[in-house]
Structure 1
């Protein structure tokens, strides 16, 4: 097992970029930090390329840095598991898709204000990243759109999230030509979402790729801004629309056939949720299920 002090010196060196600053951070001598790095390189191979005023990690150095991150995650999980009974204090970590994340984050902040001992760590991420983060114990809770099939994950239905066709408030959409006239506001999942919804509403349409594109934005909280300004239409999950501040400037087009995603709550199957995580889940479920308009 690698000496923890050697690893602390390595992390400090990577963070500061300097043997001198690393030594100051750790209250050690520069010679001690150099010796710790030399021990690591003796065990693992060259970790650093030393340049004037710059330190560059080798592939082995990057691998060691990843290993240090895994150790840190394991330590967080250990502290969380040792304090599972505390419902009002400690860290709650949650990783979710962006749409539902926009709805959840204010709820999480309200909960943290009511219980100042809680520390909320929330990240927006696509399904593969969320699943891997929970598997690696970087996050205790996750929400994903695809039902997991990994036996290491416990999962349960959390909430359904419909896709919505969203247009400027004054726009009328009676057919494909109206969408073509408005133009599409793209986003990273935009074409896939629009294809799923519009193929049901307008069978035989020439396809989303045939629509003129009037903009693209990769920040989910900003996707509806060009729609509100009359620059085009888009397709988003409902919670992304509900989180938009200027509801009066947009309109949801009604359709006969709905497309609904089931969101799944996941956590590691090997241990139960902490009391504080159970509190968070109960709170966000209550608010989300009561806010479906």
Structure 2
């Protein structure tokens, strides 16, 4: 098998990760013409097209294989840097931009337990890139070779990967006390301001984005409904969803970890206290012998054990 030029491989990765030739050139500190030349040389060596010139740019199947190979090379270099750090403590901190270790994590985990898990590694100088997506879709980033690992709701391991259970994140339905009094009071015996099977259609639910089915899943499970249609507003940020609820936009189903302090302060109320939705999370990563992957796995396991429901 031919030996591929590491600079050409990183050029391919930069084009895909940055979404274009101009930004790839800026990242690599070379001209756009040099980026094109490196890509053409790599495509000539492989014997096929590696990039689809679409909007946005996409890697072909062969390009994805080379991207995965490039990520593995980065991982090897990161492992070497960790080993060298014992002899030269500044070695990790000198990592180049293209040495980033990419992982995909759902936004709710980023907003609650995942960043504390990775803090020590970041402080050690591990050059991480966290990609966020819906928890049901983060595995696609791993499948396509864009990341080394992901936090996802999917249990089945991909070929060549291992999976580690992390625990369950508990979701609750919240609103402001004023919203609950005005929109929900009187809908139950005794006039309690609660979400019910009879009033949820009259409310706005604040969801993360159009891929987010958390709101529908919660309502369906709470009231035994097979199909649920909701009036939804979209705020693509876990913290933003909570701020929208605090501003009186409507109800939202969010992680208990994210809103427990606001519930304790009385700034939010649980409008379905008899219901909660536990979502099981898993860490998937390449099944390789790697100190970096082992460190990431151990850090996520430790933090999740302290924060998530077992």
Change in CA separation of 1:176 and 1:9 when aligned onto 2, cut-off 3 Å = closer
Question: Among 120, 124, 135, which residue is 2:132 paired with?
Answer: 124
Alignment of 1:80-99 (within 5 A): 80-83=78-81, 90=92, 93-99=102-108
Q: 1:243 to 1:138 in 2, by over 3 A?
A: farther
Q: After superposing the two structures, state which structure 1 stretch, 238-247 or 118-127, moved more.
A: 238-247
Structure 1 SS opposite 2:129 = strand
Which segment is superposed worse, 82-91 or 133-142?
82-91
- Of 148-157 and 276-285, the range deviating more from structure 2: 276-285
1:19-34 equivalent positions in 2, closer than 5 A: 25=30
State the distance in 1 between where 2:110 and 2:64 align.
Answer: 27
Unaligned runs of 5+ in 2: 93-99, 181-192
- In the other structure, the counterpart of 1:155 is 163
RMSD over aligned Cα, in angstroms?
A: 4.8
Aligned counterpart in structure 2 of residue 271 of structure 1, from 282, 289, 294: 289
CA distance in 2, matches of 1:268, 1:23: 27
Is residue 104 of structure 1 aligned with residue 102 of structure 2?
no
- 2:268 maps to what in 1? 250
Contact 1:167 1:252 survives alignment (8 Å): yes
Q: Partners of 1:261 and 1:251 in 2: how far apart?
A: 21
Separation in 2, partners of 1:164, 1:61: 38
Task: Check 1:243–1:135 CA distance in 2 against 1; reply closer, same or farther (3 A cut).
Answer: farther
Would the aligned equivalents of 2:161 and 2:285 in 1 still touch at CA under 8 Å?
yes
Deviation at 1:194, TM superposition (A): 2.7
Per the TM alignment, residue 158 of structure 1 is displaced from its structure 2 partner at its CA by 0.5
How many positions carry a matched residue from both structures?
274
2:307 to 283, 288, 293: 288
Report the Cα distance in structure 1 between the residues aligned to 2:250 and 2:35, rounded to whole angstroms. Answer: 58
Contact 2:216 2:228 in 1 (8 A): yes
1:195 partnered with 2:229: no
Q: 2:141 and 2:280 mapped to 1: Cα distance?
A: 20
Q: TM-score, normalised by structure 2?
A: 0.64
Distance change in 2, residues 1:169/1:9 (3 Å): closer
Q: Deviations over 1:114-166 (max 9, x none)?
A: x3433333221235653344456643332111211435222121021122112
8 Å Cα contact 1:102/1:239 also seen in 2: no
Q: How does 1:206-245 map to 2 (within 5 A)?
A: 208-209=228-229, 211-213=230-232, 215-241=233-259
Task: Tell me, in whole angstroms, the C-alpha distance in 2 between the residues paired with 1:135 and 1:236.
Answer: 27
TM-score where L is the length of structure 1: 0.67
SS of the aligned residue for 1:25 comes to coil
The answer to whether the 8 Å contact 2:102/2:149 transfers is yes
